[in-house]
Amino acid sequence: MGLVKTDEEIALLRENNQLVSRTLAEVAKHIAPGVTGLKLDKIAEQFIRDHGAVPGFLGYNGFPNTLCISINDVVIHGVPSAYELRDGDIVSVDCGTRMKGYVGDSAYTFAVGSVSESVMRLLRATKESLKLGVAQAVEGKRVGDISSAVQRYVESLGYSVVREMVGHGIGTRIHEKPDVPNFGRCGSGKKLIKGMTICVEPMINMGKRDIVQEKDGWTIRTKDRKASAHFEYAVAVGKEQPDVLTTFEYVEEVLKQKGNMI
Ligand code: MG
Ligand code: MG
């Protein structure tokens, strides 16, 4: 399959990513001190199956769960565990689906209870950098325009960008070409064409950019143990403007009700 998707393919990717969006909202309802990642994982798996899809990450390269649950200094690929969330934690929930031959992949970082103002600023900045990056997903621009929009914004605030892990194309598989780094130069990289579908997913560190992988073979955390945030949209490159396939609307409706907006 080529990088450019047909309207029918984009519709199926939208369907998957809308289900991911609604799954994240379902998870959001349950995020609170005392809740475990394993419990959130069960809720997500049930919700996905109840809606006619299967979890996209479960079994992917041997991943054992439905969600990646990445807490505090964990950047991505955290494995759900019996750890009970605590007041002041942040938790990135990354979710995938598979339905009708296509996949969904999106992520949101939540605040558990009351989180320090400095970490809240990191969350807001990372989410804003996602929006700035995605705004570049327009025909005629290049991948580097997305990358540099993310990097320039977060580095201007004193944060750092993870280099080793990047966004990606999405289609019948979770990770397709091209790579979509969160750092790079304007005007560099692959030219964007209408109908290309990509995941933009800034992983932004409060401290230094360096990461390490834990012995479990999955968990990626910051080397300096400072907090890291992660937000992800799936998006189709548009002629005039990006066609975002994910929405945070459902999640943010839940957070508003909980009085827990980031
Ligand atoms: Mg993801
Ligand atoms: Mg992804």
Give CA–CA dist 92/115, Å, rounded.
14
pLDDT at 140 over 90: yes
Q: Which residues is 68 bridged to in the sheet?
A: 94
Tell me the CA–centroid distance for residue 170 and ligand 2, in Å. Answer: 8
As a whole number, mean pLDDT of residues 31-38 equals 98
- Residue 81: pLDDT band by 50, 70, 90 thresholds? very high
Q: What is the pLDDT of residue 262?
A: 84
Q: What is the pLDDT of residue 192?
A: 98
Q: Which residues is 67 bridged to in the sheet?
A: 95
- Which of the pair, 32 or 2, is modelled with greater confidence? 32
As a whole number, mean pLDDT of residues 138-147 equals 98
pLDDT at 1 over 80: no
Report how far Cα 260 is from the mean position of its chain's Cα atoms.
Answer: 19
Tell me the CA–centroid distance for residue 248 and ligand 1, in Å. Answer: 14
Q: What is the pLDDT of residue 231?
A: 98
Tell me the CA–centroid distance for residue 67 and ligand 1, in Å. Answer: 9
As a whole number, mean pLDDT of residues 151-165 equals 98
pLDDT exceeding 90 applies to what percent of the chain?
97
Residue listed under structure tokens 């002629």 = 239
As a whole number, mean pLDDT of residues 108-120 equals 97
pLDDT at 101 over 60: yes
Q: How many residues does the chain have?
A: 262
- Residue 260: pLDDT band by 50, 70, 90 thresholds? confident
The token pair at 107 is 């992520």
Tell me the CA–centroid distance for residue 229 and ligand 2, in Å. Answer: 14
Q: Which ligand is nearest to the CA of 56?
A: 1
Q: In whole numbers, what is the pLDDT of the chain averaged over residues?
A: 97
Report how far Cα 148 is from the mean position of its chain's Cα atoms.
Answer: 18
- Rounded to the nearest 10 degrees, what angle do helices 117-134 and 143-156 cross at? 160
Inter-residue long-range contacts of 212-219, CB under 8 Å, 24+ positions, other chains counted: 216/79, 218/63, 218/77, 218/78, 218/79, 219/70, 219/74, 219/77, 219/78, 219/79
Q: Which ligand is nearest to the CA of 180?
A: 2
Tell me the CA–centroid distance for residue 152 and ligand 2, in Å. Answer: 21
Tell me the CA–centroid distance for residue 71 and ligand 1, in Å. Answer: 15
Name the architecture of domain 7-258.
Alpha-Beta Complex (3.90)
pLDDT at 113 over 70: yes
- Residue 153: pLDDT band by 50, 70, 90 thresholds? very high
Q: What is the pLDDT of residue 16?
A: 98
Give CA–CA dist 24/222, Å, rounded.
24
pLDDT at 175 over 90: yes
pLDDT at 2 over 80: no
- Residue 186: pLDDT band by 50, 70, 90 thresholds? very high
Q: Which ligand is nearest to the CA of 107?
A: 1
Tell me the CA–centroid distance for residue 38 and ligand 1, in Å. Answer: 18
As a whole number, mean pLDDT of residues 80-91 equals 98
Q: Which ligand is nearest to the CA of 20?
A: 1
Q: What is the pLDDT of residue 29?
A: 98
- Residue 53: pLDDT band by 50, 70, 90 thresholds? very high
The token pair at 262 is 């980031």
pLDDT exceeding 70 applies to what percent of the chain?
99
The token pair at 91 is 């938790």
